[in-house]
Amino acid sequence: MTRRKHEPLSASKQLAPSKSDVLPSRIYSTAFGIAVHPKRDGEQRGSMHDTSDGNTSVKKTVYTIVKAGLLIPGDGEPVKDSALVIENKLIAWVGPERDVPSKYTHAAHRIYSIPFVMPGLWDVHTHFGGEPVDTDEGDHNTLILQHPAIAGARLTKGCWEAIQRGYTSLRDVAGYGCEIARAIDDGSIVGPNVYSSGACLSQTGGHGDLFDIPAGDVHLSAGVSSTQPGHWGSVQSVLVDGVDECRRAVRLQIRRGAKCIKLFASGGVLSLDDNPLYAQFSPEELEVIVQEAARQQRVVAAHVHGKPGILAAIKAGVTTLEHASFADEECIRLIKEKKIVYVATRTIVDLLLQAGGKGLSKYQWEKAQLCGSHHLKAYKMAIEAGVPIALGTDTGPGFNMAMELDYAVQAGMTPLEAIKAATANGPLSVGAMAPKTGQLKVGYEADILGLLYNPVEDVKVLQEKQNIGWVWKGGRLFKGPGVGPWGEDPL
């Protein structure tokens, strides 16, 4: 693998380092029930009724120029000796390194010279469950019934780790992603862009049900017919039966902040008693979920394994199919015809098979083997047919999610095709809720990775954190030489 020595950070106009504020901009007093806005250095002191103009300084734009030995655009062929310019959150210019316009080079700017540059990575099938990773507590019941506060605390580390691994966007398809996204967006924690479905919609007795807990208890905490006081709908699964409950569940998730909707269209592997070959939800229920989501420009993701569930989900109009273990030629033809995005989640399937049934019941292990015996064949058929594919691992944030690119290559993709599936195709999974991202093009959000080795030669280089030297999210550098755990101060 080729490695190009990176140049030290430089600036054509000397920039004074920014000073972090000692005090936060807002302190909430529980005792007084008010928000206090403490005075900071450089602010004018005045009365609360003072409306006069103070001395203000105009903040100048500081451009970031990234020179790339090889620029991998996300969709298209890599280009040698290229450069791009970041202005605020967006990519303002892309072209040959020698042609960077003087309007950028003659203004205040920072320069980075990096061997290989590509878009930030997407994982479109994650779960923000906040499950413990080093204990045996994480059974199916605990993942859904644990207190949201401890889940959020655990997810904080995973979100930071995702950035360190080059993942600037994650789709959460059942978890606390709606809540975590707000904490990331307001700067309370560091993490990727999060597009969450909120709770996943399941029928009673479906993949999202808890079979060893009394049905009344499950419906009281995870149903929609009688929402309890103080309940925000913040569990990971919501049980719904009938058209009206399905419609209400969609509205509740969007109220919570969902950017997409997730449903279980068949049984699953880790649920205790349902069968992955059987379809779940009636056609009328599936259709109303898709229709209600579309009214507010949300797409629907369908967990599904068996062929009856796949066909039902396709007919209902879902946007993405997750797993699709038993997809055959008929299914693949319809998926391509309808331009449905195929999300194989090969990582979790292979990890379950490698574990040999450890931690699973006898029936769960039988289901894992059943789905695993067909999954790779279906994935290869989808790749050969040229259906739209986006990559997802079915793991939590912070896992070594780049394994999915190598699984894609093993299934028949070229490294460049796998990179496209993990970058440019990511936004397809959230439809209208996605910004312009996943590609290194003018006007796209500046979610950018700087690498020491060439992923076009071997996608496995993305599995090692030390190979990812720079990570920009929304134009802000969150990983790089000398950058602290909270990222660089905004310019």
Query: How is 174-198 classified by DSSP, letter by letter?
Result: SSSHHHHHHHHHTTSS---EEEE--
Averaged pLDDT, 58-86? 95
At 126 the pLDDT is: 98
Please report, to the nearest 10 degrees, the dihedral formed by the alpha carbons of residues 243, 249, 254, 257 taken in order.
-160
At 144 the pLDDT is: 57
- Could you tell me the pLDDT band of residue 480, with boundaries at 50, 70 and 90? very high
Averaged pLDDT, 22-43? 58
Among residues 259, 262, 367, 479, the one annotated as catalytic is 262
Res. 135: pLDDT tops 80: no
Q: What rounded mean pLDDT belongs to the chain?
A: 88
At 220 the pLDDT is: 67
Among residues 394, 420, 447, 479, the one annotated as catalytic is 394
State what percent of residues in the chain have pLDDT above 90.
73
- Could you tell me the pLDDT band of residue 15, with boundaries at 50, 70 and 90? very low
Averaged pLDDT, 407-435? 98
Q: Is 478 helix (H, G, I), strand (E, B) or coil?
A: strand
Burial of 286 by CB count in 10 Å (0-12 exposed, 13-18 middle, 19+ buried)? buried
Res. 164: pLDDT tops 80: yes
Q: Per-residue pLDDT tens for 287-342?
A: 999 999 999 999 999 999 999 999 999 999 999 999 999 999 999 999 999 999 99
394 is catalytic: yes
Crossing angle for the helix pair 346-355 and 403-410, nearest 10 degrees?
90
Res. 5: pLDDT tops 60: no
Q: What is the DSSP string of 61-109?
A: P-EEEEEEEEE--SSS--EEEEEEEEETTEEEEEEEGGG--HHHHTSSE
**Beta-carbon neighbour count of residue 447 at 10 Å?**
30
Instruction: Look at 28-37, 362-371, 395-404 and tell me which has the smallest mean pLDDT.
Output: 28-37
Averaged pLDDT, 451-473? 98
Averaged pLDDT, 232-254? 87
Res. 140: pLDDT tops 70: no
Q: Per-residue pLDDT tens for 335-367?
A: 999 999 999 999 999 999 999 999 888 999 999
Please report, to the nearest 10 degrees, the dihedral formed by the alpha carbons of residues 344, 116, 167, 459 taken in order.
30
- Could you tell me the pLDDT band of residue 12, with boundaries at 50, 70 and 90? very low
- Could you tell me the pLDDT band of residue 51, with boundaries at 50, 70 and 90? very low
Ramachandran bin of 230, using left for φ above 0, alpha for ψ from -120 to 50, beta for the remaining angles: left
- Could you tell me the pLDDT band of residue 459, with boundaries at 50, 70 and 90? very high
Ramachandran bin of 279, using left for φ above 0, alpha for ψ from -120 to 50, beta for the remaining angles: beta
Q: What share of the chain is helix, strand, coil (3-state, %, to 5)?
A: 30, 20, 45
Of residues 215 and 258, the one with the higher pLDDT is 258
Instruction: Look at 131-135, 151-155, 331-335, 414-418 and tell me which has the smallest mean pLDDT.
Output: 131-135
Q: Are β-strands 476-479 and 468-473 bridged in parallel, bridged antiparallel, or unpaired?
A: antiparallel
At 38 the pLDDT is: 63
Q: In the chain, count H helices and then E strands.
A: 13, 19
At 138 the pLDDT is: 46
Which helix (H) or strand (E) covers residue 115, if one does? strand 109-119
Res. 186: pLDDT tops 70: yes
244 is catalytic: no
Averaged pLDDT, 77-90? 98
At 35 the pLDDT is: 62
At 264 the pLDDT is: 98
Res. 198: pLDDT tops 60: yes
At 337 the pLDDT is: 98
- Could you tell me the pLDDT band of residue 37, with boundaries at 50, 70 and 90? low
From CA 302, how far away is CA 295, in angstroms rounded?
A: 18
Of residues 115 and 488, the one with the higher pLDDT is 115
Structural domains of the chain in order of their starting residue, each with its CATH number: 7-16+59-120+441-479 (2.30.40.10), 121-433 (3.20.20.140)
Res. 36: pLDDT tops 70: no
